[in-house]
């Protein structure tokens, strides 16, 4: 999203998470301070009425949809239905509200887990849906694929400027460092930190 109008409201979902907080810091560093932010207690992104009301009140021109229920292998294996349900609802409510309120551009953050388990390296966009997904997080992957398809569908049916980006593995400030719910890199960072603290 280059050449953003500095006066236009920019809505960032998931602004307290790893990616969302980094985006907010970058936008603010670029002098873009007309940010529309809400915690999950203020707006439940799974609730269409709350999301639509939020969009109606704030009238964002741009949306960076980076919120999502995320976790490591154990969390995904233990709660696949929760990952599927929560993520699909968030994509559906945010994109519907963005369309209905006339958002100029929406960026949806997907996940590299949408590619096949045995994907050739380096990964290319055309490898999407060419083989079975990784079983340990297939429900999450299907939910993320649904977000990608939603962007394509809103673009095709309504002419919405909704686009998707698929990042690689991420880690950094505001990541989930839980010993049972994090991804590999944050889990290792936590273990290194704890080992150093113990001497």
Give the number of other CB atoms < 10 A from CB of residue 1. 15
Nearest Cα neighbor of 138 from 121, 170, 119, 113 is 113
What's residue 196's pLDDT?
Answer: 85
Q: Where are the domains of the chain?
A: 10-171
What's residue 73's pLDDT?
Answer: 87
* CATH 3.40.50.720 matches 10-171: yes
Cα gap 56→68, rounded to integer Å: 22
- For the segment 79-83, the average pLDDT, to the nearest whole number, is 98
For the whole model, what pTM was predicted? 0.87
Cα gap 39→13, rounded to integer Å: 9
Residues 146-187: tens digit of each pLDDT? 999 999 999 999 999 999 999 877 766 766 667 776 666 767
140 catalytic per annotation: yes
Residue with the two structure tokens 């944050």: 186
Higher pLDDT among residues 1 and 168, named by residue: 168
| pLDDT surpasses 50 at 91 | yes
| pLDDT surpasses 50 at 1 | no
Residue in 62, 108, 115, 140 annotated catalytic = 140
Handedness of CA 74, 78, 79, 84 (dihedral sign): positive
Residues 16-74: tens digit of each pLDDT? 998 999 999 999 999 999 999 999 999 999 999 999 999 999 999 999 999 999 988 89
Cα gap 128→2, rounded to integer Å: 27
DSSP 28-52: HHTT---EE---TTT--TT-HHHHH
């Amino acid at each position: 999203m280059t050449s953003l109008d500095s006066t236009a409201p920019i809505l960032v979902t998931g602004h307290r998470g790893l990616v969302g907080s980094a985006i907010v810091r970058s936008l603010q560093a670029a002098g873009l301070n007309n940010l529309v932010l809400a915690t999950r207690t203020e707006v439940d992104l799974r609730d269409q009425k709350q999301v639509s009301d939020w969009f109606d009140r704030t009238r964002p021109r741009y949306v960076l949809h980076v919120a999502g229920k995320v976790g490591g292998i154990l969390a995904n294996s233990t709660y696949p239905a929760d990952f599927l349900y929560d993520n699909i609802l968030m994509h559906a409510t945010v994109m519907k509200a963005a369309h209905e309120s006339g958002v100029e551009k929406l960026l949806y953050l997907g996940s590299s887990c949408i590619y096949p388990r045995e994907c050739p390296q380096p990964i290319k966009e055309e490898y999407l849906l060419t083989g079975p997904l990784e079983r340990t997080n297939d429900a999450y992957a299907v939910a993320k694929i649904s977000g990608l398809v939603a962007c394509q569908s809103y673009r095709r049916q309504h002419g919405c400027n909704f686009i998707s980006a698929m990042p690689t593995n991420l880690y950094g400030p505001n990541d989930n460092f839980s010993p049972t719910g994090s991804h590999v890199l944050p889990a290792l960072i936590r273990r290194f930190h704890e080992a150093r603290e113990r001497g």
